[in-house]
């Protein structure tokens, strides 16, 4: 049985992502904070952590990127999860009787069109699954939560309305972090972070390292440096595994050209 940590209560979308990646035989360890997931993996208390990287609507999860830079761990795999929200309440409740809806602010925002038709008070909570757990434990009548179907199953709640998200094309990319390194698969991706000299043409020269080798960059995003105000680091993804000769050569040249290079992982690419 694989031991996996994730941020949130049981029934969180991170738990769905872990089940999709590792199957059903998992010993789950819920955490309050994302940083705690990284700490548990670093301390060998779990084999893997599941953390969100990017949402198709809201963009990158900045805290995850900062933690990947801070901790000496590897991205071992990635998984893309369709995020589908359900409105749920205690058994016997009806939608007409609901006066308050709890959920994470992002989930509330993603269901805004559905909620606007109800004229019901919404209350932000720290976690989608945590909202479902609260309703179950406190036996909150006339209240509902927005969370995953898995959360409804875990906490014995009835789904009053399924698939209430405004945009059906709502996906979140999660990654498994580990001390282990992933072996090459049929389709691979490498993620890294780098910093450049603060001078004209430095980023142009680095991008040329990949372009001249016909390496396809699939992501390039800047984040503020944590050490120098108004300077930035760049997070990049490219297709390929560092076991390949051309990718090794590219990274060697990158290390000569950049002021900082950290490989976050080479791992199977999710479809």
From the list 65, 62, 52, the residue with the least C-alpha distance to 176 is 52
Tell whether 205 and 257 lie within a shared domain.
yes
Tell whether 118 and 6 lie within a shared domain.
no
Is the predicted pLDDT of residue 73 greater than 90, yes or no? yes
Q: What percent of the chain has pLDDT over 90?
A: 89
For residue 245, the enclosing domain spans 188-265
Report pLDDT for 230: 79
Length of the chain: 271
- Kindly indicate the confidence band of residue 18, based on its pLDDT and cuts at 50, 70 and 90: very high
Boundary-marking domain end, from 145, 178, 211: 178
CATH number at residue 259: 3.30.70.260
Pairwise CA distance, residues 110 & 126, whole Å: 15
Q: What is the pTM of this model?
A: 0.90
String of DSSP letters for 50-99: EEEEEETTTEE-HHHHHHHHHS--EEEEEEEEE---EEEESTT--GGG--
Q: What's the sign of the alpha-carbon dihedral 34, 38, 44, 47?
A: positive
Report pLDDT for 212: 96
Q: Is 201 left (phi over 0), alpha (psi -120 to 50) or beta?
A: left
Q: What is the mean pLDDT of the chain?
A: 95
- Kindly indicate the confidence band of residue 77, based on its pLDDT and cuts at 50, 70 and 90: very high
Annotated catalytic residue 48? no
Query: Is residue 58 one of the residues assigned to a domain?
Result: yes
- Kindly indicate the confidence band of residue 10, based on its pLDDT and cuts at 50, 70 and 90: very high
Question: Mutual orientation of helices 202-211 and 245-257 as an angle, nearest 10°?
Answer: 170
Tell whether 210 and 261 lie within a shared domain.
yes
Tell whether 77 and 114 lie within a shared domain.
no
Query: Is residue 271 one of the residues assigned to a domain?
Result: no
Pairwise CA distance, residues 194 & 184, whole Å: 23
Tell whether 6 and 73 lie within a shared domain.
yes
Is the predicted pLDDT of residue 59 greater than 90, yes or no? no
121-124/100-103 β-pairing: parallel
Name the catalytic one among 28, 174, 234, 238: 174
- Strand runs (DSSP E) across the chain, as ranges? 2-7, 26-31, 48-55, 59-60, 74-82, 86-89, 100-103, 121-124, 143-147, 158-161, 171-178, 188-195, 217-224, 232-239, 260-268
Tell whether 211 and 95 lie within a shared domain.
no
Tell whether 15 and 78 lie within a shared domain.
yes
Tell whether 152 and 174 lie within a shared domain.
no
* pLDDT, tens digit (0-9, with 9 covering 90-100), for 107-131: 999 999 999 999 899 999 989 999 9
Boundary-marking domain end, from 151, 178, 205: 178
Is the predicted pLDDT of residue 227 greater than 80, yes or no? no
* pLDDT, tens digit (0-9, with 9 covering 90-100), for 133-158: 999 999 999 999 999 999 999 999 99
Name the catalytic one among 64, 122, 172, 190: 172
Annotated catalytic residue 172? yes
- Kindly indicate the confidence band of residue 225, based on its pLDDT and cuts at 50, 70 and 90: confident
Q: What is the mean pLDDT of residues 212-236?
A: 90
What is the total count of domains within the chain? 3
Look up tokens 């698969």; give the residue. Answer: 185
Report pLDDT for 126: 87
Tell whether 62 and 129 lie within a shared domain.
no
Query: Is residue 116 one of the residues assigned to a domain?
Result: yes
Tell whether 55 and 174 lie within a shared domain.
yes
Tell whether 145 and 91 lie within a shared domain.
yes
Query: Is residue 270 one of the residues assigned to a domain?
Result: no
Is the predicted pLDDT of residue 258 greater than 90, yes or no? yes
Q: What is the mean pLDDT of residues 192-213?
A: 94
Look up tokens 């995020």; give the residue. Answer: 83
Query: Is residue 11 one of the residues assigned to a domain?
Result: yes
Pairwise CA distance, residues 225 & 66, whole Å: 9
């Amino acid at each position: 049985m694989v031991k996996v940590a994730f941020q949130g209560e049981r029934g969180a979308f991170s738990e769905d992502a872990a089940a999709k990646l590792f199957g059903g035989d998992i010993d789950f360890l819920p955490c309050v904070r994302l940083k705690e997931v990284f700490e548990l993996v670093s301390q060998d208390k779990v084999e893997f952590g599941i953390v969100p990287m990017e949402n198709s609507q809201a963009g990158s999860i900045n805290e995850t990127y900062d933690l990947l830079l801070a901790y000496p761990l590897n991205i071992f795999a990635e998984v893309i999860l369709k995020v589908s929200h359900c409105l749920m309440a205690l058994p016997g409740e009806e939608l007409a009787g609901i006066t308050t809806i709890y959920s994470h602010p992002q989930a509330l925002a993603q269901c805004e069109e559905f909620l606007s038709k109800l004229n019901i008070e919404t209350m932000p909570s720290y976690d989608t699954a945590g909202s479902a757990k609260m309703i179950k434990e406190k036996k909150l009548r006339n209240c509902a939560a927005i969370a995953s179907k898995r959360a409804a199953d875990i906490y014995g709640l009835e789904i009053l309305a399924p698939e209430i998200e405004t945009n059906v094309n709502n996906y979140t990319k999660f990654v498994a972090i580990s001390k282990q390194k992933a072996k090459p698969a049929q389709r691979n991706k490498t993620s890294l972070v780098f910093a450049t000299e603060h001078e004209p043409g430095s980023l142009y020269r680095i991008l040329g390292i990949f372009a001249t080798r016909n390496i396809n960059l699939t992501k390039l995003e800047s984040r503020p440096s944590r050490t120098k105000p108004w300077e930035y680091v760049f997070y990049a993804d490219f297709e390929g595994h560092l076991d390949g000769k051309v990718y090794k050569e590219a990274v060697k040249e990158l290390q000569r050209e950049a002021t900082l290079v950290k490989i976050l992982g080479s791992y199977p690419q999710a479809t």
